Structure 1
Amino acid sequence: MLRCPRRGVRPGRPHHQPNGSGRRQLKHRCTSGRTALANRLRDGVLMATIHEEHHTIDTVVCDVGGVIISFDEAVASAIEARHGLSIGTLLPAVLKSEPGMLAMRGALDRDTWMSAVSPLVGRAAVLDWLGYHGDLNEQVVAHLKSVKNRGVKVVLLSNATFRLWDDLEFHGLDSLADLVLCSADIGHVKPDPSCYQHAAILGDFTLDRAFYVDDTPSWVDAGAALGMLGHVFTTAERLEQDLATQELLP
């Protein structure tokens, strides 16, 4: 489902630029032309609508977990069973605990995080969980590759710890995007507005020219409030339709 920018929002790229350009080198590209959004009815759901003409989208900003890579909770349950843990305790310990949240913001490195969460569920269970890299949504990957091949910049923006890089490498996604931004590296997390604004600085794009894909509706709303055209991810098919509507796919 599309989440359109709020009327009157005209965000621009901040005037200052960082010394570095992010972990990966960017390829600055843009497209031409303008696209107007219209009322649409899809699968019985009236999509977000706006009749104003908007800037041409030249950047796709995409979440990773739950969009490109999905993580089956049954795997976490199996790990808990193998290590004698109560069901539903593993993920809160490694992700939602104070050490987990600090690691997501880049305040703890891998070894410090491991030392902090191991007493909660056991080091063996943590290592078992780190060995699971999720399941790849190959359709989404294909769509993003097509978008990039059309000269549109692709930026991955993920709330994640250091393990994001392991997951991307495992699935062979090193070259999928022009830039990968991990919250643990940039020190900003969604849905804080500073996260999107910082991404725009590092990615050299403006928020009102960005198509933002995320599976968390409130995070999409946060991006839309800053001028991004947001897509709440549900299926690869719906994503394809909305990308095509914006002329980002053939």
Structure 2
Amino acid sequence: MLCDLDNVIRFYDTAPLAAREREAGLPVGLTMEVAYAPEIDLPLLLGRITPDAWVEAIAAGLSERAGRERELTRTLGRALAEAPFRADTEVVALLRRARTHVPVVLVTNATLQLDDDLALLGLTDLADAVVSSAVERVAKPDPAIYRIAAERAGVPAERCLFVDDRQENVDAATALGMTGVLYREPADLRRALGPYADEAPERQQSSICG
């Protein structure tokens, strides 16, 4: 089983950032719109720049878009970079159960801080392998990252179940022959796992990356 991390397992609290945007008279969500534009976000996800450099790029983009001083936009960029996060306990439980049956591999567009983030979440033992864009220098939906993940799972792509919250990432997986699931809520994962969402005494071979 191949599973995304952000917006499936990990969720960020952006309320403090939204409050800062309102205080600055900016539209709520503008900072994220600038930050997640490919030209600003992708270098971070490919491990080419540091989080501090990402904050500076956000600040520059916000200053240009909103006409605000760099000190303010840097504060907003930092608020996004340091947004607190949590793990969805229901999803974590489902993945732990699934792992008693089949290999679980996290496939995520992430920064070089991913190992530290997983440790903070208490999830260093959640998966058999972690495929990070920043380490592999390739990001979803590039087919290469899916092939790497299938290899880490030890099975052909056709025997993999891929779960992600972005349609383009799911489409890229299904183009390689994987079974794709667009995630919106834990029930989506539970349905996809079927009997593998239940407790099992031991891991066994299956048709979803096993």
Distance 2:24 2:130 in 1: 34
Aligned ranges 1:1-250 → 2 under 5 Å: 60-72=1-13, 74-82=15-23, 85-96=26-37, 98-121=39-62, 122-150=73-101, 152-245=102-195, 247=196, 249-250=198-199
Q: Offset at 1:123?
A: 2.8
Q: In the alignment, is the contact (CA less than 8 A) between 1:99 and 1:108 conserved in 2?
A: no
Structural RMSD (CA): 2.4
- 1:104-161, CA deviations, whole angstroms, 9 ceiling, x for partnerless residues? 12222334334433334433222222222333211110010111123x1111011223
- Give me the whole-angstrom Cα distance separating, in 1, the residues matched to 2:132 and 2:24: 30
* 8 Å Cα contact 2:16-2:79 kept in structure 1: no
Quick check: which one's helix share is greater? Answer: 2
CA contact (8 A) 1:64 1:157 kept: yes
Q: 2:44 touches 2:134 (CA, 8 Å); kept in 1?
A: yes
Distance in 2 of aligned mates of 1:83 and 1:205? 51
Extract unaligned runs of 5+ from structure 1. Answer: 1-59
| TM-score of the pair, normalised by structure 2 | 0.77
Separation of aligned partners in 2, 1:222 and 1:113: 27
Instruction: Return the alpha-carbon distance in structure 1 between the equivalents of residues 157 and 41 of structure 2.
Output: 29
- The CA deviation at 1:163 is 4.4
Report deviation, 1:203. Answer: 4.2
1:166 shift after superposition: 4.2
CA contact (8 A) 2:190 2:197 kept: no
Higher relative contact order (CA 8 A, sep 6+): 1
Whole-angstrom distance in 2 between the partners of 1:232 and 1:197: 19
Classify the secondary structure of the residue corresponding to 1:153. coil
AA aligned to 2:167 is P
Contact preservation (8 Å) 1:188, 1:194: yes
Cα shift at 1:225: 1.6
In 2, distance between residues paired with 1:197 and 1:184?
16
State the number of aligned residues: 189
The answer (yes or no) to whether the contact 1:208–1:229 under 8 Å persists in 2 is yes
Q: What stretches of structure 2 of length at least 5 have no aligned partner?
A: 63-72, 200-210
Change (3 A) 1:164 1:76: farther
> Take 2:38 and 2:19, find their aligned partners in 1: how far apart are those partners?
20
Normalized against structure 1, the TM-score is what? 0.66
Partners in 2 of 1:84 and 1:170 — Cα distance? Answer: 33
